[in-house]
Amino acid sequence: MKHDILTPSGIRALLAQQGLAPRKKWGQHFLIDTQILQKIILAAAPDETDCVLEIGPGLGALTHGLVARAGHVLAVELDKGLTEVLTHQFREQIQAKTLEILQGDVLKLDIPALLAPHRHMRRKVVANLPYYITTPVILRLLELPLAFSSITIMIQKEVARRMSAAPGTKDYGSLTLAVAYHATTEVVTQVPASAFMPRPEVDSAVICLRPLSAPPVAVDKALLFKIIHAAFGQRRKTLVNALFAAGLGENKESLAHALTACALRTDIRGEALDIFQFARLTEALS
Ligand code: SAM
């Protein structure tokens, strides 16, 4: 019997048939809202020239739309039971070699090696991410030498806010700058908890990252992020005090001098600086 994987009853029946239940520890919240599903597909806009990496296909809610449009889909799922369900459901596409389903942990797999056979295709990531690993997955994807043309992902609303925050706001921080170093961000849509089964405890958002061909600033990356982490590690302190506490200056006077040289007030806090101002400060301190 074919189950409708976009309804709570269909999901429950399919899981029960396989002796499975949603696993909270792996962030298994299945998407049941077709409009949100369409918005994700529309934002990612996969076509036959694309090789799509899907993280956490679950029962295949997104996978259907992706295989119907993309040239190739590599779907990585941690749960063995779900991988078996997917392999059965999508046997035709797997046979046709338009879809590969791989059981494993996206944080441990060698993604560049897995995508190497499709190196001539444009690469995209699409995922309804398991929330317990949102930040490490995003940072890993952005650091990979793979030049994804876009990364369209469902994440917690709070994380989406932090990733796309403006300087001076409470959500602005080292995550905002880590993302800004690699990509531009666009919030595609907000998603209520009712769009999932079972319901998560938080609201969500779909965000589209477009990796840059080169970082927006050309300074020593390690020092830049040392400064950024120092600034936000103690965000209530002035930047001079935060940097001094992190051992980034010989004395507070020299740090104040560096700020003045960058046309910044000496009592400024780190949260007021954008990535270009942090880069200027990095040069002044290097
Ligand atoms: N894509 C499906 C949907 O939209 O209905 C399921 C999304 S659910 C939020 C997250 C999925 O990621 C689950 O299927 C879960 O088993 C899987 N997952 C959890 N941790 C993972 C990991 N480390 N690597 C790969 N997949 C993982």
Cα separation, 46 vs 85, whole angstroms? 24
In tens digits, the chain (286 residues) has pLDDT values of 467 999 999 999 999 999 999 999 999 999 999 999 999 999 999 999 999 999 999 999 999 999 999 999 999 999 999 999 999 999 999 999 999 999 999 999 999 999 999 999 999 999 999 999 999 999 999 999 888 999 999 999 999 999 999 999 999 999 999 999 999 999 999 999 999 999 999 999 999 999 999 999 999 999 999 999 999 998 889 999 999 999 998 999 999 999 999 999 999 999 999 999 999 999 999 9
Residue 198: is the preceding peptide bond cis (ω within 30°)?
Answer: yes
- Regarding the beta carbon of 131 and ligand 1, being less than 6 Å apart is answered no
Contact status, residue 161 vs residue 155, Cβ threshold 8 Å: no
- Regarding the beta carbon of 107 and ligand 1, being less than 6 Å apart is answered yes
Residue nearest to atom 5 of ligand 1 (CA): 30
Query: What SS3 state is found at 82?
Result: helix
Nearest to 78 by CA among 113, 26, 137: 26
Contact status, residue 223 vs residue 250, Cβ threshold 8 Å: no
- Regarding the beta carbon of 125 and ligand 1, being less than 6 Å apart is answered no
How far is ligand 1, taken at its centre, from the CA of residue 241, in Å? 42
Q: What is the 3-state secondary structure (H, E, C) of 228-257?
A: HHHHHHCCCCCHHHHHHHCCCCCCHHHHHH
In order of 2, 41, 82, the CA distances from 89 in angstroms are 9, 20, 10
Residue nearest to atom 1 of ligand 1 (CA): 57
Query: What SS3 state is found at 200?
Result: coil
* Position in ligand 1 atom list of the atom nearest CA 79: 16
Contact status, residue 102 vs residue 114, Cβ threshold 8 Å: yes
Task: Give the burial class of 206: count Cβ atoms within 10 A of its Cβ; 0-12 exposed, 13-18 middle, 19 or more buried.
Answer: buried
